Structure 1
Amino acid sequence: MKVLFIGGTGLISKEVSKLAVEEGVDLYLLNRGNRNSFVPEGAKVIYGDINNRKEMNTLLDEHHFDVVVNWIVFTEADIERDIAYFTGKTEQYIFISTVATYQRPPLHYMVDESTPQHNPWWKYASEKIACEDRLRQELRENGFPMTIVRPSQTYGNTSIPFAVTSGVHPWTLIDRIINGKKIIVPGDGSSLWTITHNTDFAKGLVGLLGNSETIGEAFHITSDEVKTWDQYLAVLGKVVGVKPRIIHMTSESISLFMPEFKAPLFGDASTSYVVDNSKIKSFVPGYKATTNFEQGIRESIAYFEENPELQTIDHVLNEKMDYAIASYEEFLAQIN
């Protein structure tokens, strides 16, 4: 099976690339060559910029792929570009969407692929919804062979997931825990949330490659493990051997001090829901997420400890969090 990944070296996609090659897939990665250290042995690299249409038409002219997976599509314009590139050049086009497209806040705690899609809080999610709608239209009108995949928050060795933290400098959260600084948790910490290890997501995605029965279908691929934010933080503390100091703050308050968190909090992380993975399990028999959060985060912490150069700190965010916490606690003290 000849498969093209556009990207293929990111946090989620690198594990999918690795597993695909191990499963015997003839894998091609189209990227600009900036992350060659993440290219698995056995994969072939096509160097190019997906947004350079003249270059792409030349690079893709002699190729036909059984499957194309684009890991870096975010807007409807990206979808239009890919429809133009890959119509007649693939038997299956997989679009990587997100579970954040589901209704926020959800009307029912259990979310499956039939859950309405509506998220006015977060432009990222709204644009993914528009991408999905455009693909369905192209399938109806012209038979474009699309499949939609929706990951949840997914992590791996190079990341440390949490609700309020630094994505670029993930060690910031661990540094705060170790040094006894308070950790901001949205709401009262009881929102239910699902975090998925990238090796588990890979098993589901690779299982969908080349399956003609998935055309026109949407799947989310997540862990079945569900914890509250307080529980996730407790696991982080257990792994590093320090009990985290928690401060619960409303999402509104967090957003006033750190506006960059407003969309992902109201549009995703502060809403409580449970993901039903029955559909992916029915199409990929035997699919099961086997890396629980404690195991996965132990691997992440070990990786950062083995690579101390990655233990960078987001000092700007640290200052914002310290100021937010101090102001919030001063306000609460005035009430008492």
Structure 2
Amino acid sequence: MRVLFIGGTGTISAAAVARAAALGYTVTVLNRAASSVRQLPSGVEHLVADVRDPAAVAAALGTRSFDVVADFLTFTPKHAYAAVELFRGRTGQYLFISSASAYQKPPARLPITESTPLRNPFWQYSRDKIACEDIFTQAFREDDFPVTIVRPSHTYDHTGLPLLFGWTDVHRMRAGLPVVVHGDGTSLWTLTHTNDFAVGFVGLFGLPVAGEAFTITSDDVLPWDAVYRSVAAAAGVPDPVLVHVASEKIAAVAPAFGPGLLGDKAHSVMFDNSRVKSLVPAFGTTIRFADAAHAILAWHVAHPQARVVNAEYMALSDRLAAL
């Protein structure tokens, strides 16, 4: 099976590339060859082109076609229209990576399923993903464009810290300083390890699922306080000082954080993965965040350049904690 990844070195896509290569697929990755901490596996073909330049992509691909195209880099309607034009008639399956943040916010009921309405009045990123889904779906209905929509939620790997202020929060934990947690710390959040996601995602390759949508997330659901305490335990801090601040107040003080909080993380979420599990029996939750937190901290210890204490986040944390 010939598979083209558009992207291929990001948090989610790198694990999917590795999974596809390990299963023996003929894998090609197309991206701008920007530096990345995630290297391509041996034997994976690398094509260099800016996906935002359709002419450059067409030149890089030539006349080739693929059994599967996995698109990790379409974020706006303009990108979606270009993708349909470029890959119409050149692939048997087109997997578009949307986002679980596109689901109704706040959710009317849990768990969230593929039939949950798509509506997010808080976050432009999510609204753009919804618009992309509409374009691909229209192309499927009118021109038989073989799209399958995949909606991951918060997916992480060994480099990711799912904390509001990243490594700055770890620094504050170790220094005994208050660490800001949005809300009251009890809202539920779903964290998916990228290796688990890759099993479900690559498992869809070649299946007759055109026109369908799939949620692919973990069943590892934790309150936010438990997320922070898992990181603290891995960092050697048994009792971190967690200070709870309403998401609306954080958004008012630091508007840049507003869309991601009010449009996603402020709401309890858990997902029904039964649809993908019915087609990919190997898919499941094998990596829990409480265990993965130790690998994340170990990676940061081994990479000093990632241990950045942001002065702006330090001041913002103090200001929010004082509220």
TM-score, normalization: structure 2? 0.97
Instruction: Assess if the C-alpha contact under 8 Å between 2:176 and 2:240 holds in 1.
Output: yes
Within 5 Å, give how 1:174-213 maps onto structure 2. 174-212=170-208
Write the deviation string for residues 176-197 of structure 1: whole angstroms up to 9, x where unpaired.
1111121111221110110111
**Which residue in the other structure is 1:114 paired with?**
115
Amino acid at match of 2:146: P
Q: Which of 232, 245, 248 is equivalent to 2:244?
A: 248
Q: Does 1:62 align with 2:31?
A: no
Query: Any idea what the Cα deviations from partners look like across 1:163-182, whole Å, max 9, x if unmatched?
Result: x22xxxx3222111111121
Alignment-derived partner of residue 148 in structure 1: 149
Tell me how far 1:49 sits from its aligned partner.
Answer: 1.1
**Structure 2: which amino acid aligns with 1:31?**
N
Once residues 200 and 277 of structure 1 are traced to their aligned partners in structure 2, the CA distance between those partners, rounded to angstroms, is 12
Q: Match for residue 333 of structure 1?
A: none
Q: Find out whether 1:14 has 2:14 as its counterpart.
A: yes
Secondary structure of the residue that 1:74 maps to in structure 2?
coil
Residues 219 and 280, structure 1, Cα contact 8 Å, conserved in 2: yes
Alpha-carbon displacement from aligned partner over 1:296-317 (angstroms, at most 9, x marks no partner):
1111111111222321122212
- State the SS of the aligned residue for 2:33: coil
Report SS of the residue matched to 2:3: strand
Task: Report the Cα offset of residue 57 of structure 1.
Answer: 2.0
Residues of 2 paired with 1:215 and 1:285: CA distance? 19
Question: 2:182 & 2:52 partners in 1: Cα distance?
Answer: 38
Question: Match for residue 96 of structure 1?
Answer: 97
Long gaps (5+) in structure 2: none
Amino acid at match of 2:248: E
Q: How large is the Cα RMSD of the aligned pairs?
A: 1.2
1:216 matched to 2:217? no
| 1:262 lines up with 2:263 in the alignment | no
The SS at the match of 2:192 is: strand
Is 1:276 matched up with 2:277?
Answer: no
Distance 1:174 1:14 in 2: 26
Q: What amino acid does structure 2 have at the position aligned with 1:297?
A: A
Gaps of 5+ in 1: 329-336
1:294 to 271, 285, 290: 290
- 1:130 is aligned to 131
Q: Map Cα deviations across residues 69-121 of structure 1 (whole Å, 9 max, x no partner).
A: 11111001100000010000000111101110000001102101110110010
Distance 2:82 2:139 in 1: 13
CA distance in 1, matches of 2:245, 2:229: 17
Matched, 1:173 2:169: yes
CA contact (8 A) 1:9 1:35 kept: no
Query: How many residues are aligned here?
Result: 321
